[in-house]
Amino acid sequence: MEISEQVAQLYNAAIKHQASDIYFLPVNDYYLIKIRNAELLMIWDKVKNEQARRMINYCKYMANMALSESRRPQIGSMTWQADHKQYSLRLSSVGDFLGAESMVIRIIYELQDVKTAFFNQQALFELQELTGHRGLIVFSGPTGSGKTTTIYNLVNQIAADQVVMTIEDPVEIKQLNYLQLQVNREAGMDYSDLIKVGLRHRPDIFIIGEIRDSLTAQAAIKAALSGHLVYSTIHAQDPCGVISRLKQLGIEEQFIFQSLTAIGYQRLIPTINGGKRALLKAHSLHELTRIKSYDWSDWQGELERAISKRQITRETAKKYWYG
């Protein structure tokens, strides 16, 4: 089979599975090619080094990346057509300490192609009501829990006549009527830099991919305090942990209370029918400031309801009992 045909099969299979990423990973004298979607990370193929190198080079060629460079980090982009639709691909490659090149390919979908089913639709309605208060709405939960998809769908409900700017690393969902910016540290465009630029554009709504350092946290808080509606994500073990994490990043308590409107915690949970549904709990800042440690009883109640409706098993519920 020609290399071009093999790469085409890989791209088409990944899109069919609605994969977010494709991985070329070196392992001794062969490569593992893996694809990741919301449900799992699966091995698509195991190929010899020479064949994998040819596939990587073909991908790099289509993305206008330097074929002669296999050690230093490179990024590239391209479009791919499947089933009469065009998809944006973002490629990133780098060599390991042994000189073996790895590659990750991010597939960017349009919002209409990304759907999330929820156990408790009411939590979405609660967050929609809180958007009228403006300020900062933060989502927490592990990587791959569908937080960005939920944020985009929430914003899409209210964005008809508003200017929306997204700042991500990388862009995960393509939305043509949003102004979407992508972090590029080599060009001096980090989260905090792009938020500063974004404020000059005077958008109504910000989507900030992740608050991961003090500069980004300060910029997000500043945007929220200046009257914008700001959506973002942050790594925390539970909703109360979001407040603690912002404090760790140097945000004074008074500014957290002035800017933070709501916190959402979300997980994608495997269902009995082989799919996944999102479990989301939404909290106003007022709710969380009255407690010292997070009470998972409401969350566990949702899991019990899902068991009674035969949506998930008892064993699955135990795995997600504490988020």
> Which whole number is the average pLDDT over 218-234?
94
Q: What percent of the chain has pLDDT over 70?
A: 99
Asked if the model's pLDDT at residue 268 lies above 80, the reply is yes
Q: Are 131 and 100 in contact (CB under 8 A)?
A: no
Give this prediction's pTM: 0.83
Q: Which two tokens stand for residue 164?
A: 């929306």
Question: Could you read off the pLDDT of 277-304 as tens digits, one per residue?
Answer: 999 999 988 888 777 789 999 999 999 9
Q: What's the pLDDT score for residue 114?
A: 80
> Which whole number is the average pLDDT over 150-167?
90
> Cβ atoms within 10 A of the Cβ of 231, count?
27
When pLDDT is cut at 50, 70 and 90, the band that residue 148 belongs to is very high
More confident position, 71 or 188:
71
**Mean pLDDT, all residues of the chain:** 91
Q: Which two tokens stand for residue 194?
A: 């792009």
Asked if the model's pLDDT at residue 186 lies above 90, the reply is no
> Which whole number is the average pLDDT over 19-45?
91
Contacts of 49 (CB under 8 A, 6+ apart): 26, 29, 30, 31, 100
Query: Rounded to whole angstroms, how far apart are CA atoms 177 and 163?
Result: 8
Name the helix (H) or strand (E) containing 280.
Answer: strand 276-284
Asked if the model's pLDDT at residue 124 lies above 80, the reply is yes
When pLDDT is cut at 50, 70 and 90, the band that residue 39 belongs to is low
What type of residue is 161? Answer: D
Q: Are 99 and 70 in contact (CB under 8 A)?
A: yes
DSSP 118: B
In the three-class reduction of DSSP (H, G, I as helix; E, B as strand; rest coil), residue 144 is classed as coil
Asked if the model's pLDDT at residue 185 lies above 70, the reply is yes
When pLDDT is cut at 50, 70 and 90, the band that residue 187 belongs to is confident
Q: What's the pLDDT score for residue 111?
A: 83
Asked if the model's pLDDT at residue 1 lies above 90, the reply is no
Would you give the distance in Å from CA 238 to the centre of its chain?
A: 18
Query: Rounded to whole angstroms, how far apart are CA atoms 18 and 36?
Result: 9
> Cβ atoms within 10 A of the Cβ of 202, count?
11
Q: Are 119 and 302 in contact (CB under 8 A)?
A: yes
Question: Could you read off the pLDDT of 95-117 as tens digits, one per residue?
Answer: 998 889 999 999 999 888 887 88
